[in-house]
Amino acid sequence: MPTAIQAEQLTKRFPHKIAVDTVTFSVEQGSVFGLLGRNGAGKSSTIKLLTTLSPISSGKARVAGYDVSAQPVEVRRHIGYVPQLPSADVDLTAYENLLISTKLYCIPRSERRDRIRDALELMGLDKSVNLLVRGYSGGMMRRLEIAQAMLHHPAVLFLDEPTVGLDPLARHAVWTRIGELRARLGTTILLTTHYMDEASALCDHVAFLHDGKLAGIGTPAELCAALRPGATLDDVFISLTRTRA
């Protein structure tokens, strides 16, 4: 399988902190990859590096076949990103949010309508398209943001805590939609989450970050088996990230 994301010795230094410390991993095309770890472990920082939003201090990364530092615009053309914080504009309708995105991604006028309709349908939002997003529930908002991030059919989709703050039903709805997205478009997905059950269910591979460093990587089953028979991913999480550096 070709790789969709390749990070080599990826590092982000701030004046008083190393947010991402020589992290190396790769993600197979079409798979779902989970980045796990405690708050402040470097998950969001890693995503910001891979999405070109934050300059890399040292190391290298390729996303969707392009070098993140050398070809940022090409990378942006081929990725979608849903940040942790709400990124849909609540003062616009769902349709308007999507319309603006189709224009930012230069989707030809003749295709805009279909793309928007497909995205809304895939995320199960087709009924509330002309409502101001201000009136949306948390779950609808998240699905809208995912719809917005995949309008241009990105090869790689980055989801930073896509289910944080959602009720169990809304969480499951997001899971289902992510599964469909992957099945229909073959999108590679990198997500972060604090729910280990979610990581077990959704991710083909997971990587644990601890204090900016890679603390463990593998399939959820491998990681659990390596710890001890019958261990859950929660146990793995605790064992890998307990120490405070």
Partner 1 sequence: MTALINYLSQMLAIAEAEVRKLRHDPVDLFTRIIQPALWLLIFGQVFARLHGIPTGGVSYRDFLAPGILAQSVLFIAIFYGISTIWERDLGILAMYLVSPAPRSALVLGKSLAAGARGLAQALMVYVLALLLGIHLVLGLLSLAGVVAMIILSAAIFSCFSMIIACLVKTRERFMGISQVLTMPLFFASSAIYPIALMPDWLRHVASLNPLTYQVDALRTLMLPGFRSSSGVLFDFAVQVGIFVVLILIAGRLYQTILE
Per CB under 8 A, residues contacting partner 1 are 48, 51-54, 73, 76-77, 79-89, 91-92, 96, 100-101, 103-106, 132, 145, 148-149
Beta strands in the chain (DSSP E): 3-14, 17-28, 32-37, 58-63, 66-67, 79-82, 156-160, 188-192, 205-210, 213-218
Shortest distance in whole angstroms from residue 9 CB to partner 1: 21
Shortest distance in whole angstroms from residue 91 CB to partner 1: 4
- In the complex with partner 1, the residue whose CB is nearer, 149 or 196, is 149
Quick one: how many helices (H) and strands (E) in the chain? Answer: 9, 10
Shortest distance in whole angstroms from residue 198 CB to partner 1: 20
**Distance from C-alpha of 163 to C-alpha of 138, rounded to nearest angstrom:** 9
Shortest distance in whole angstroms from residue 52 CB to partner 1: 7
Give the β-pairing of 79-82 and 32-37.
Answer: unpaired
- In the complex with partner 1, the residue whose CB is nearer, 29 or 57, is 57
State the burial class of residue 21 (Cβ atoms within 10 Å of its Cβ: 0-12, 13-18, 19+).
Answer: buried
Torsion sign (Cα): 37, 38, 44, 45: negative
Task: Classify 224 as helix, strand or coil.
Answer: helix
- In the complex with partner 1, the residue whose CB is nearer, 79 or 170, is 79
- In the complex with partner 1, the residue whose CB is nearer, 44 or 241, is 44
- In the complex with partner 1, the residue whose CB is nearer, 104 or 226, is 104
Shortest distance in whole angstroms from residue 76 CB to partner 1: 4
